[in-house]
Chain A
Amino acid sequence: MAQAKAKASNKKKDLGYLANLTKGFIKENPIFTFMLGLCPALAVTGTVETALGMGILVIFVLVSSNIVVSLIKGFIPPEVKIPSYIVIISTFVTIVGLLTEAYAPALHESLGIFIPLIVVNCLILGRAESFASKNNILNSAIDGLGMGLGFLGAMVLIGFFREFFATGALAYGVYLPLGVEGSIVNLEWYLLSIAVFSGPAGGFLVIGLLLGLFNGISIMKRNKKERERQKMIEEKKRIALERKRQKAMESAGGNA
C-alpha cells in the first residue's frame, strides 16, 4: 500500500519535472510570449547557424547560473541580490566567451558584441530572480534547460525564415564546427530571394509576422472553444426545457 503510494507520488513528481521542462517550449516561450531577450533574437538570427550557436551559449549560461543561484540562495542578503546574480551570470558569460573564441572562432567572430551582451539578456536574470532563487537545484537546472530550449527553438525558427527568404538556402554560412560544409538545403531560388530579410529590417518584420501568426492561431482556438461552449449551453438549455415540458405534460395528464 505504502509502496503504491510512493510510486504514485513518484510518478506525480516525474510529471512535474516534465511539465517544468516543457513549459518554456510554447506556453511560456521567452521570446514569443514574454518578449524577453529580443536583442539577440533580432541581431544574430540572420542565419540558422548563428541563431543555433547563440541558443546553445544561452542554454549553457542559463543552466549553470540557475544551478549556482539556487545553490547559494540562502547566503545572499536580499539587498545585494541583483548585483550578485549579475556577477554570477557574467562569470559564466566570460567562460563561454573564452571557450567559443578557442573552439569556434567563426561563431565568435559572427556573434561579436552579442556574446558579452548575454549578461544583460533579461531572460537569464529573470529566471534567476523568479525561479532559481526559490527552488531546489534539480528543478532550477531543469527550468533553465527548458527555458533555454524554448529560446533556442524560437531563435532557430526566426533564423530559418530569415535565411531562407534572404538566400533561398539553409546553413549557407558555416559557423559551427559541426563538420557540415556548404548549404544543407539549396533550392537555387536566388532570383526570388529578398535580401532585406538578412538585414536589420528583416529581423523586425519576421518576428512581427510570426507573432501575428501565433496570435491569430490562439485567437482562432479561443473562438472555436467559445463556440463549442455556446453550443453546449444551448444543448443543455434545450434538454432542460424538454424535461420541463415533459413534466408539465405528465402533471397535466395526471390531473386529467
Chain B
Amino acid sequence: MSWTVFFVAIFSSMLINNVVLIRFLGVCPFIGVSKKTTSAVGMSVAVMFVMVIASLVSYLLYYLVLVPLNIEYVQTIAFVLIIASLVQLVEMFIKKASKKLYKSLGVYLPLITTNCAILGVAVANISEDFAAQYGTFPGLAVAVTTAFGAALGFGLIMLAFSTIRERLEAATIPEAWKGVPVALITAGIMALAFAGLGGIV
C-alpha cells in the first residue's frame, strides 16, 4: 500500500464526492447554521473533531466486536449509540480542558448527534469494505483519512456558502425568494460546479 492511497482518499472524499453537495449528507446544518461565517466555522470544526473520532471508533467496533460475534445487523443501533455517547464525551472533555473552546463549540455539539454526515461517513466506511482491500488495520488508516477528507470538504463548503449567504443578505431579492429559497438555489449552482469535478480520480 503506497502513500498515494491516502492522497486519493483525502482528495476524492473532500472534492469529488463532497459530503454536502454530491452525497447530500449533513444538509440540515448546511442550511441551518450557515447564516454567519463565524458559526459556520465553529460548526465545521466541531464536525471535523467528531467525524474523525466517530469513524475510528465505529470501524474498530464493527471489526473487533460485531463481526466476531456475527451480529452485523445491529450496526445502525450500535453506531448511533456510539456517536451519541461520543458527542457527550467530547463535550465533557472540552468543558474540562478548555473553557474558551467550549464556549465557541459548545452550542454545536448537541446538534451533531442528529447530523447525518457523521453516521453517513461511518456507515460508508464499512460498506466501502476497506478491510477487505487493505487488511483490517491499514484499512482503519484509510477509513480515518477518508473521514478527515470528508470533514475538510464539509468545512470548505460551509465556509464558502456562509460567505455567499452573508453577501446575499445585503442584495436586493424579491420577497418570496428571500432566505432559504435563494440559498438553496445558490447551493444548486455550487453543486453544478462540483459535479464538474466528477470522474477525475
Complex Cα–Cα for A113 and B74 (A): 15
A residues touching B (Cβ–Cβ < 8 Å)? 35-36, 38-39, 42-43, 82-83, 86-87, 90-91, 93-94, 97-98, 113, 116-117, 119-122, 125, 196, 199-205, 207-209, 211-213, 215-216, 219
Name which of B118-126, B141-149, B152-160 contacts chain A. Answer: B118-126
- Nearest B residue to A218, CB-CB: B176
Question: What does DSSP make chain B's interface, helix, strand, loop or mixed?
Answer: helix
Complex Cα–Cα for A211 and B191 (A): 18
Contact B75 A38 (CB under 8 A): no
Contact partner of A116 (CB less than 8 A), chosen from B119, B176, B185, is B119
Contact B116 A39 (CB under 8 A): yes
5 A-B contacts, Cβ less than 8 Å apart?
A38-B31, A86-B84, A86-B113, A120-B114, A204-B187
Interface residues of B in 87-124 (CB under 8 A from A): 113-116, 119-120, 123-124
Question: What does DSSP make chain A's interface, helix, strand, loop or mixed?
Answer: helix
Min CB–CB distance B176 → chain A (angstroms):
4
B residues touching A (Cβ–Cβ < 8 Å)? 21-28, 31-32, 73-77, 79-81, 84-85, 113-116, 119-120, 123-124, 127, 175-177, 180-185, 187-189, 191-192, 194-195
Contact B24 A43 (CB under 8 A): yes
List chain A residues, Cβ under 8 A from B181: 208-209, 211-212, 215
Contact A120 B115 (CB under 8 A): yes
Pair count A-B, CB < 8 A: 122
List chain B residues, Cβ under 8 A from A213: 176
Contact B188 A204 (CB under 8 A): yes
Contact A205 B77 (CB under 8 A): no
Contact B81 A86 (CB under 8 A): yes
Contact A113 B127 (CB under 8 A): yes
Contact B77 A39 (CB under 8 A): no
List chain B residues, Cβ under 8 A from A36: 28
Min CB–CB distance B128 → chain A (angstroms):
11
Contact A204 B116 (CB under 8 A): no
Contact partner of A35 (CB less than 8 A), chosen from B28, B113, B120, B124, is B28
Complex Cα–Cα for A86 and B176 (A): 36
Q: Nearest 7 CB-CB pairs, A to B?
A: A208-B184, A204-B188, A216-B176, A43-B24, A205-B188, A212-B181, A201-B191
- Nearest B residue to A215, CB-CB: B176
Min CB–CB distance A221 → chain B (angstroms):
12
Contacts A122-B114, A125-B114, A200-B21 known; A116 to B76 CB distance under 8 Å?
yes
List chain A residues, Cβ under 8 A from B23: 43
Complex Cα–Cα for A113 and B177 (A): 32
